[in-house]
Chain A
Amino acid sequence: MAEHKKEIDQVTGIETTGHEWDGLKELNNPLPKWWLYIFYGSIIWSIAYWILMPSWPLVNGYTKGLLNYSQRAVATEEFDVAAAERAKVGEKLMEASLEEIRDTPALLEFAMAQGKVAFGDNCAPCHGTGATGFEGYPNLQDDSWIWGGDLDTLATTISYGVRAEHDETRFAEMPAFGRDELLEKDEIIQVSNYVGSVAGLPVQDGVDLEAGKVIFEENCASCHMENAKGDMETGSPNLTAPTYLYGKSVENIIAQVNAPRHGVMPAWIDRLGETTVKSLAVYVHSLGGGQ
């Protein structure tokens, strides 16, 4: 131990620690005893904590503690309580028709909240977080629908999907007019340009639109109707709509007539249950495009 000289502060008569900052010297006042006892108490507390609570990480896991406390278990428990609470309102949703849900403020508020969360978890990967879709994935915000946009139709589509592996799924397939050699290449170009002209698109030069019209009436009108406005009963898209699922241009129409793409939407009823499907239908309808 190095010898040191005690230095006494003249004003207070108290020894200094020898630490000095800009001429200010630190007095060596003793800490109060209770301060020390709180420190000891904290040590005892921490030991009790190690014994009672999960605390020490081990190679394979961690010490569980005598109380066997787990935040995960608490969270699960709280989740179950919340689920039971939701189930009460959920029962009301089961009993009510979709129109009743929409017209009853309490049920609507619940369905919108549940629908929003369910949409984010299940639908957003394809339809987008804002439900605006992508190429090949329908936009649910606008008022153009393939299978229909009223509440019951939406619920059916969500429940059973489109071209999904469910007995009641919606099913419609357009023939591959080019790949299966139902139409000649020229005919495909003619009919595609005719459709483009109906949809308000600029047509390609030197194409015989009259011939295209005849081909359309013979091959397409049975599903897409004479006026090309489609038929939601059979899932035939409206060809005069402002947007197309696979892009609105004559080139895209030619590609689609030649070998159509057919997207798949899964059936959700078995996975989500009726209550959630109802909430989803009300939520999607409420976005603004509902009919």
Chain B
Amino acid sequence: MSSQVEPIDNEEDETWFASAAKIYPMEVKGRFRKIKWIILFITLGIYYFTPFIRWDRGPLLPDQAVLVDFERKRGYFFFLEIWPQEVYYLAGLLIIAAVGLFLMNAIAGRLWCGYLCPQTVWTDLFFRIEHMVEGDRRKRMALDKQPWNAQKILKKGTKHFLWLMIAWWTGGAWVLYFSDAPTLVYDLATGQAAFSAYLWIGILTFTTYSLAGHMREQVCVYMCPWPRIQAALTDEHALNVTYRYDRGEPRGRLKENKKRIAEGLPAGDCIDCNQCVHACPTGVDIRKGSQLDCIQCGLCIDACDAIMNKVGKPTGLIAYDTDVNIERRERGEKEVYRLIRPRTVIYTAVIAAIAGVMLYAQLNRSMTDLSVVHDRNPLYVLQSDGAYRNGYALRLLNKHNNEQNFTLSVEDMPEGSVLEVVGVHRTASDVVKDTAITLSVDADTTRSVRALVFSPPGVEMPGSKPMSFKLVNTETGETTIISDFFRAPGK
């Protein structure tokens, strides 16, 4: 009975804190290892070299394909240019990324963790360096145990130097996304770059070196929230890296199991060689079932398949499988794989819907925009001739790379209404007040103007009359209409 158990208190033999046991993963060869290498080369290649891709946007704009320009408040992605007003694209991308993660989970568990997560990719690269310098699992374990000597110092020193170089390059590539890459590389090398650039390189060098070199699986087990969320989101039809205990148990050494078979006792295919445990980068035993520490990278599948081939048994003792299928096989039923389930359909639909909306918005993205804010105090002013005047703050956006001319007018106002824009020069012929006004906006910028709208003198106006501002590009004819209201004291 738990009620008899007292909360524990300070006892000498209790350990409150424990050092993480160092994990020495064995290198494996196989299908999943190959997939992981290909993904590693592609993702790191994208990360390290994208800033150097050029993209011609004309003389006024930067020619870097992917650039976040904080100074001029623009984001560039190949043919896309994003203004701060369009930050909802970023929100859309983040929603797609989140639902994409859920979809991956519904299909095959922790695909993200095992193959795509930067923590996994960089840790894999760092393991590879460690393997090259210090040798495989047994050699590394022996090296750590042996006393310090010149050879150990050389090996450890080389490893940490290479790690730091990769970490430094990681930080260096990061800052290139925020400034013209070739110029920044030159400035960094000659010590002329901004302090913030060096600071960010320093920060990312530190995080890469410590997270990929030293923290490794501790990041996944203790720091990352995704394993907890993933465990709550998953279902029985999601493919997971699974030890098929229906086939493997009872496990036993090869000889023991042969003896058991000879005696007519049941014997599984698992020969308890522990290669799956030795290959695991997070140090788990997959035979205990799916667990929080397992990032489902598939390396234990490669390790086990190699052994199964050697002992002449079919591969796939550890494989992507579902709990449902294990139970079905035990009952002698046929395996089922249900890729199309409500949750995969819904996740796909959500991604498609958001992507569709973003694509539509992008294809119909106006090169011109107008924002209108009605004066709040006062809402209207009575003129001495009996007209009512309303004031509006307008902001015109010109996303073209050259100066554009626009005609501004008001719509849905009674005959004889007048539009004025403060500071727009009028010639003598304009004295007969016209309702359209020509405005120019410089290339790739905005212009704020104050507009005044006068109702015709003596015409009774409702308390709030819907009206709109119409902005027409005089060259292209592109039209933007923004609705607002004209206020007067009436009901």
The residues of A with any CB-CB pair to B shorter than 8 Å are: 1-5, 7, 15-20, 25, 28, 30-36, 102-105, 108-109, 112, 128-130, 132, 141-144, 241-243, 286-289
> Looking at the complex, which of B61-69, B265-273, B378-386 is the stretch in contact with chain A?
B378-386
Q: A2-B9, A18-B6, A103-B423 known; A30 and B382 CB under 8 Å? A: no
Q: A16-B5, A288-B389 known; A32 and B18 CB under 8 Å? A: yes
User: Cβ of B6 and Cβ of A2 under 8 Å apart?
Assistant: yes
Is B192 in the interface zone, CB < 8 Å from A? no
CB distance from A118 to the nearest CB of B (A): 16
The residues of B with any CB-CB pair to A shorter than 8 Å are: 2, 4-11, 15-20, 215, 218, 222, 375-378, 381-384, 389, 391, 420, 422-423, 425, 447-450, 452
User: Cβ of A4 and Cβ of B384 under 8 Å apart?
Assistant: no
CB distance from B307 to the nearest CB of A (A): 27
- Distance, CA A108 to CA B423, complexed state (A): 7
User: Cβ of B422 and Cβ of A32 under 8 Å apart?
Assistant: no
User: Cβ of A32 and Cβ of B20 under 8 Å apart?
Assistant: yes
CB distance from B378 to the nearest CB of A (A): 5
Besides A30-B15, A34-B215, A112-B450, 19 other A-B contacts (C-beta < 8 A): A1-B11, A2-B6, A4-B8, A7-B2, A31-B16, A32-B19, A33-B17, A33-B18, A34-B20, A35-B222, A103-B425, A105-B449, A109-B448, A128-B377, A130-B375, A241-B384, A286-B423, A288-B381, A289-B381
Interface residue from A3, A17, A144 paired with B7 (Cβ < 8 Å): A17
Chain B residues near A30 (CB-CB < 8 A):
15-18
Q: Which 7 A-B pairs have the closest CB atoms?
A: A130-B377, A4-B6, A30-B18, A18-B5, A286-B422, A108-B423, A141-B381
29 chain-A/chain-B pairs, Cβ below 8 angstroms: A1-B9, A1-B11, A4-B5, A4-B6, A16-B2, A16-B5, A18-B8, A25-B2, A28-B8, A32-B17, A32-B20, A32-B222, A33-B20, A34-B215, A35-B222, A103-B423, A104-B423, A105-B447, A112-B422, A112-B448, A112-B450, A130-B377, A130-B378, A132-B377, A141-B378, A142-B384, A242-B384, A286-B423, A287-B391
Q: A18-B8, A287-B391 known; A142 and B18 CB under 8 Å? A: no
- Distance, CA A219 to CA B185, complexed state (A): 84
- Distance, CA A288 to CA B393, complexed state (A): 12
Chain A residues near B11 (CB-CB < 8 A):
1
Chain A residues near B8 (CB-CB < 8 A):
4, 15, 17-18, 28
Chain A residues near B375 (CB-CB < 8 A):
130
Chain B residues near A142 (CB-CB < 8 A):
381-384
Nearest CB to that of A7 among chain B residues? Answer: B5
Interface residue from A4, A16, A130, A242 paired with B382 (Cβ < 8 Å): A242
CB distance from A192 to the nearest CB of B (A): 22
Nearest CB to that of B15 among chain A residues? Answer: A30
Chain B residues near A286 (CB-CB < 8 A):
422-423, 450
- Distance, CA A34 to CA B391, complexed state (A): 62
Chain B residues near A108 (CB-CB < 8 A):
422-423
Chain A residues near B447 (CB-CB < 8 A):
105, 109
- Distance, CA A224 to CA B464, complexed state (A): 38
Nearest CB to that of B9 among chain A residues? Answer: A1
CB distance from A168 to the nearest CB of B (A): 28
- Distance, CA A105 to CA B420, complexed state (A): 15
Nearest CB to that of B422 among chain A residues? Answer: A286
- Distance, CA A156 to CA B79, complexed state (A): 53
- Distance, CA A141 to CA B2, complexed state (A): 78
Chain A residues near B215 (CB-CB < 8 A):
34
Chain A residues near B381 (CB-CB < 8 A):
132, 141-142, 288-289
Interface residue from A3, A32, A33, A143 paired with B384 (Cβ < 8 Å): A143
User: Cβ of A18 and Cβ of B422 under 8 Å apart?
Assistant: no
- Distance, CA A5 to CA B450, complexed state (A): 79
CB distance from B333 to the nearest CB of A (A): 28
User: Cβ of B2 and Cβ of A18 under 8 Å apart?
Assistant: yes
Residue of B382, B423, B447 with most partner-chain A CB within 10 A: B423
Chain B residues near A18 (CB-CB < 8 A):
2, 5-8
CB distance from B176 to the nearest CB of A (A): 29
Chain B residues near A2 (CB-CB < 8 A):
6, 9
Nearest CB to that of B440 among chain A residues? Answer: A105
Nearest CB to that of A132 among chain B residues? Answer: B378
Chain A residues near B425 (CB-CB < 8 A):
103
CB distance from A165 to the nearest CB of B (A): 31
CB distance from B228 to the nearest CB of A (A): 15
Chain B residues near A243 (CB-CB < 8 A):
382
Chain B residues near A102 (CB-CB < 8 A):
422-423
Interface residue from A4, A288, A289 paired with B9 (Cβ < 8 Å): A4
Chain A residues near B15 (CB-CB < 8 A):
30
- Distance, CA A2 to CA B5, complexed state (A): 11
- Distance, CA A129 to CA B377, complexed state (A): 8
Chain B residues near A144 (CB-CB < 8 A):
384
User: Cβ of B382 and Cβ of A36 under 8 Å apart?
Assistant: no
User: Cβ of A105 and Cβ of B384 under 8 Å apart?
Assistant: no
CB distance from A117 to the nearest CB of B (A): 15
Residue of B2, B384, B448 with most partner-chain A CB within 10 A: B384
Q: A7-B2, A36-B17, A103-B423 known; A288 and B452 CB under 8 Å? A: yes
- Distance, CA A171 to CA B381, complexed state (A): 28
- Distance, CA A121 to CA B448, complexed state (A): 22
CB distance from B111 to the nearest CB of A (A): 27
User: Cβ of B377 and Cβ of A33 under 8 Å apart?
Assistant: no
- Distance, CA A119 to CA B178, complexed state (A): 39
